Chains A and B, each alone.
Chain A
Amino acid sequence: MSLDPVQVMSGQVKELKVGPSSNGDSRGSWEEKEEIDQDNVGISTKPKLVSGRRTRKVEGGVFFPKPENAVTVAVSSRVLFRTEREQKVFEQDGIEEYLRFQIEHENEPFTPGPAFPFVKALEAVNCRLRELYPQSDELFDIVLVTYNHAHVGIRLINTINHHNLFIERFCMTGGSSPIGYLKAWQTNLYLSADADKVREALSEGIAAATMFTSEKVTEVSESQLRVAFDGDAVLFSDESERIFKAHGLDKFFEHERDNEDTLLDHGPLKGFLEALGKLQKKFYAKGQRLDCPIRTYLVTARSAASSGIRALKTLRAWGLEIDEALFLAGAPKGPMLEKIRPHIYFDDQMFHVEGAAEMGTVAAHVPYGIAQKHNAKQNISVRK
């Protein structure tokens, strides 16, 4: 089947009143300057406070958003940075040697990992948000959640400094599960290299995806965050996919047609799309719809003229806008994603994740729904 993919713009323009009261108060207690014992600061580089870039000073202090107001994105150290060499030491020589190695290389920053461009793009959005709403803490809050031991802490902090990242919150759990902390931070999205942790997060209702390191990575925008989602079992539940897998394509079409006006149930990433939408509306409210630094995409195997309708109706009923919906009607996703150049693409099927990665797109696997049973049967080579 090689139908041309059809682009459908979601044309709804909602009227939104964003009052100043919804922007949050600046926190007095965060305005106090930190007292640092200068003799003991052994960190190699101090962050350069370039105005207009990373830190925003609010009345003399540095601004940390409240977890309930921010869109919290938790990343593990293995997806934010490349740590293959260290992983090998751990696997071959054990944990004591691994920690010794880390401490020995403490002043060597890690190189960027698969989630790095995504995090940089989140920060670019934050810059724009701060320009428009300087007092608001409705921003992206990037938290490093790793089950590394704190021995690695100094190296991670040095690396964050080196790359000029704005990450001020972290949990180094020293081996215990980070899931409780994800909930405590009110995490909106968790990215990790460990599929078990991701599955655990999903089962606790936290949007999560597994990321992989790939050698081929195409360049992405530094000024506009682009997030692409698969439909079934990512934004929506896997109910339709179940029908397709059990009864085939015809039955799937029939089912979708019969249920066109029934909303699909929500999937694990719906909440994250919602959070992105809320931030987008802040730009629209200031007349920046065309220049919005956040852009969202639906990339689905559904067909525009038939099964896609149910997807669009569902999104509309949820009040969620998606900037571009691409109905591929079964065509491969790789080439389309290569055109879009998203910072991250979420799909529940490893087949698509790998296909995307082959063309240089950073794709994250959402281990949810019926497709996972089939994934387990396939011999998947996870690129590390």
Chain B
Amino acid sequence: MVSTIQNTDVKQKEADRAVVVAVTSRAVFDCGVDDGDEVCEVGVAFPLLQVLQRVNERLEISRFCFSSEEDFTESLLKNNVHLFLTTDRDEAAQASQKGVFSALLNEKVASSEQLRVVFCEDAVIRTDTEPPSASQDAAQSFWAQLGEMRRRFGVLDSPLSLLLLTSRGGRESCGAALQTLRSRGLNMDEAYCLAGAPRSPILSLLRPHFLLINHLED
């Protein structure tokens, strides 16, 4: 059963111009034991929503959508969701297979002032031998919109920041990734080339809200 509840407190943007982001409610609120009328704790995605709000204060907002578990992919498609965020890897894989671009929410503390999106190298560079899958098309579409959004802000004080992280390759693969992203209209704010050094210390410093990766097993 799907119902879409419009948030009447904010102006609704034209559907085709907005970037629709769906977040599972379990990530927004941590309800624990359902006590009925008790107010829930804030969940993992809360800083993300605060930050999206900041981005939106400079743009303008969208809609809230609640859906039940069984047919959530249907509702994602029906609502033309550009990005689906969840902490559940299986959910993300499921949605991705249906052609909805999905990403994993960072469960550690993320910034609440600036939306930080990390592009991982393997999501940027891919061999052109296979025909693009539905999920890759979804990815491209989302990225194009992200790039456009980023361009609306200046270099400094932007509420949105794009970061490139190449884990395995050296400067050649980082350089190639920067070129590829630029050709798709995305100019990175920050770039980190690890060349095999451990990722998690760097990730905990970057404090991204979500990582864009190709393979969800990463």
Contacts and interface: CB of A to CB of B under 8 A. Distances in A.
A157 B188 CA distance: 15
22 contacts: A29-B168, A30-B168, A34-B173, A36-B173, A37-B125, A37-B180, A40-B183, A41-B176, A64-B170, A66-B197, A154-B178, A154-B179, A154-B182, A157-B174, A157-B178, A158-B175, A161-B171, A168-B170, A168-B193, A169-B194, A170-B192, A185-B197
A132 interface: no
Interface string B154-189: 111000010110001111111110111011000111
Given A96-B155, A184-B201, A37 B176 contact: yes
Contacts of A46: 172
A220 B45 CA distance: 56
A340 interface: no
A160 interface: yes
A27 to B, nearest CB: 7
B163 to A, nearest CB: 8
B128 interface: yes
Interface string B28-60: 000000000000000000000000000000000
Contact of B127 (A30, A37, A67, A181): A37
Contacts of A185: 197
Interface of B: 125-128, 154-156, 161, 163-164, 168-176, 178-180, 182-183, 187-198, 201-202, 205
Interface stretch (A145-153, A203-211, A325-333): A145-153
Contacts of A149: 155, 189-190
B60 to A, nearest CB: 25
B195 A168 contact: yes
A37 B128 contact: yes
Contact of B156 (A95, A153, A167): A95
A235 to B, nearest CB: 29
Nearest to A168: B170
A99 B158 CA distance: 16
B178 to A, nearest CB: 5
A99 to B, nearest CB: 6
Contacts of B176: 36-37, 40-41, 43
B195 to A, nearest CB: 4
Nearest to B167: A29
A371 interface: no
A195 interface: no
A91 interface: no
A96 B170 CA distance: 28
Of listed A43, A46, A170, residue having the most chain B CB within 10 A: A170
Given A37-B128, A171-B192, A172-B190, 14 more contacts: A36-B125, A36-B172, A37-B176, A40-B180, A43-B176, A43-B179, A67-B197, A150-B164, A151-B187, A153-B188, A157-B178, A169-B170, A169-B194, A169-B195
Contact of B205 (A42, A150, A181): A181
Interface string A136-149: 00000000000001
Contact of B202 (A64, A157, A181): A181
B201 A34 contact: no
B93 to A, nearest CB: 22
A62 interface: yes
B154 A170 contact: no
Contacts of A64: 170, 195-197
A174 B197 contact: no
Of listed A99, A167, A184, residue having the most chain B CB within 10 A: A184
A258 interface: no
A60 interface: no
Contact of B128 (A29, A39, A62, A160): A39
Of listed B125, B161, B169, residue having the most chain A CB within 10 A: B169
The 9 nearest A-B residue pairs measured at CB: A168-B170, A150-B191, A184-B201, A150-B188, A174-B190, A168-B195, A157-B175, A64-B196, A34-B169
A171 B174 CA distance: 11
B175 to A, nearest CB: 4
B130 to A, nearest CB: 12
Contacts of B127: 35, 37
B188 to A, nearest CB: 4
A108 interface: no
Contact of A99 (B155, B178, B193): B155
Interface string A163-187: 0000111111111100011001100
Nearest to B200: A184
A34 B172 contact: yes
A41 B183 CA distance: 11
A170 B182 CA distance: 19
B162 to A, nearest CB: 8
Interface in A15-41: 27, 29-30, 32, 34-37, 39-41
Nearest to A170: B193
A27 B169 CA distance: 13
Contacts of A42: 179
A32 B168 contact: yes
B171 A40 contact: no
A193 to B, nearest CB: 20
A47 interface: yes
A125 B193 CA distance: 23
